[in-house]
Amino acid sequence: MFPLHRGRRLRVNESIRSLVRETTLSPSDFMFPMFIAEGENVKVEIPSMPGIFRRSIDLTVEEVKELFDLGIRAVNIYVKVDESLKDNTGKEAWNPNGLMQRAIKAIKAACPEMIVMPDVALDPYSIYGHDGIIENGDIANDATNAALVKMAVSHAQAGADFVAPSDMMDGRVLRLREGLDAAGFHNVGIMSYSAKYASAFYGPFRDALDSAPKEADVVVPKDKKTYQMDYANRIEAVKEALWDVEEGADMVMVKPGIAYLDIVREVKDAVDVPVTVFHVSGEYAMIKAASERGWLDHDKIMMEQLMCIKRAGASLISTYFAKEAAILLKK
């Protein structure tokens, strides 16, 4: 009771504030999403994501070494697949000599201690831009799961530490766990995108990989709302996360980030595994655009959002700001 208790005593200066700070950030809290392209010495900036590039494997490896030196210990990798390799089966996704598989091998050879978590979903490989196989105008859940198992096993064979299914098919975590174990990869983990919402915040990401749903000469879903979650729902997120843990997920993810911190906290309170949060491309792009116009202080907003995600319950934050934030923290 005032005046015996004065909250401002613990805010007098930065030294006191740092002593009693409840949440802290370090570079090891971050995972950096990386886009990989074919070729050599290729570095193409993504227009809607200033400072983020599609890199060829050789330049990706150099970037990974820099990230590791900054204290970042995990990368989440995605590949830009040539149109000629896309079809409705996604078979290029488990090609042992595919771009993803070569990238995993190269990263692990150059930086063995970096944790590599390749994306497991068919949309980069699909002529329709969907995360699964199209049958009779819809996503064939179980046929897609069978394809995802082949994809995940090929990632494990290439050296992946975790696989990261982002597809949102029902039962895919169980099928992946069974498939990895049957192939002898008991120690390869699963970081499941458990509460992945059908969000408008993904636009720049889809520009980076050309993975948005496309018009076709057959009937296909016009969007991803039959498998990604309705952003009006909260209880469903907890249910999906609990199911994934029961099926063998080692980590669960909430995606997007800053607009979904209520979901992060609910999932964190419900599960007994680490919770990853994806601070997504649209969230990144908005900060970049506003700061370029002088409307926001870039570094302050970046660090505030990352701190808020951690405060909400994130064990790991997948963010395009990882490198910039790590450099700032090192200072």
Percentage of residues of the chain with pLDDT beyond 70: 97
* Interval 215-219 mean pLDDT: 67
From 86, 105, 108, 255, the catalytic residue: 255
Q: Output the DSSP codes for 163-225.
A: EEE-S--TTHHHHHHHHHHHTT-TT-EEEEEEEEB--GGGHHHHHHHT-S----SS---SSST
The active-site residue out of 108, 196, 268, 310 is 196
- Residue 161 near residue 188 (C-beta atoms within 8 A): yes
Cβ atoms within 10 Å, residue 212? 15
Q: What mean pLDDT do residues 300-311 have?
A: 98
User: What per-residue confidence (pLDDT) applies to 100?
Assistant: 98
Average pLDDT over residues 211-239: 86
pLDDT of residue 215: 67
Query: In this predicted structure, what is the pLDDT of residue 8?
Result: 95
184 vs 212: which has the higher pLDDT = 184
Question: Which residue ranges make up the annotated binding site?
Answer: 240
In a domain, 143, yes or no: yes
Least trusted range by pLDDT, from 147-156, 188-197, 213-222, 249-258:
213-222
Is 43 one of the annotated active-site residues of the chain?
Answer: no
Structure tokens at 283: 């969230």
Would you say residue 13 lies in a domain? no
Annotated binding site for Mg(2+): 240
> Averaged over 184-193, what is the pLDDT?
98
If you search the block for the tokens 């488990």, which residue do you land on? 94
Query: Dihedral of CA 191/192/196/200: which sign?
Result: positive
293 belongs to a structural domain: yes
User: Taking 90 as the threshold, does the pLDDT of residue 203 lie above it?
Assistant: no
pLDDT digits (tens, 9 = 90+) for 15-59: 999 999 999 999 999 999 999 999 999 999 999 999 999 999 999
Greater pLDDT, 100 or 203: 100
In one letter, which amino acid is 111?
C
| pLDDT averaged over every residue in the chain | 95
The answer to whether 77 and 100 have CB atoms below 8 angstroms apart is yes
Position of tokens 């930086």? 111
The pairing of beta strand 275-279 with beta strand 138-139: unpaired
Contact 115, 162 (CB under 8 A): yes
At residue 211, does pLDDT exceed 90? no
First to last CA, the chain: 40
Find out whether 228 and 196 touch, Cβ atoms under 8 Å.
yes
Residue 5 lies in a domain: no
- What is the total count of domains within the chain? 1
Residue 125 resides in a domain? yes
Q: Which CATH number fits the domain that encloses residue 87?
A: 3.20.20.70
Residue ranges making up the domain that contains 93: 27-330
Quick one: pLDDT band at residue 210, thresholds 50, 70, 90? low
Mean pLDDT of 78-88: 94
Q: Would residue 108 show up in a list of annotated catalytic residues for this protein?
A: no
Per-residue pLDDT at 214 exceeds 90: no
Q: At what angle do helices 298-312 and 281-292 cross, to 10 degrees?
A: 150
> In this predicted model, which residue has the larger pLDDT, 206 or 220?
220
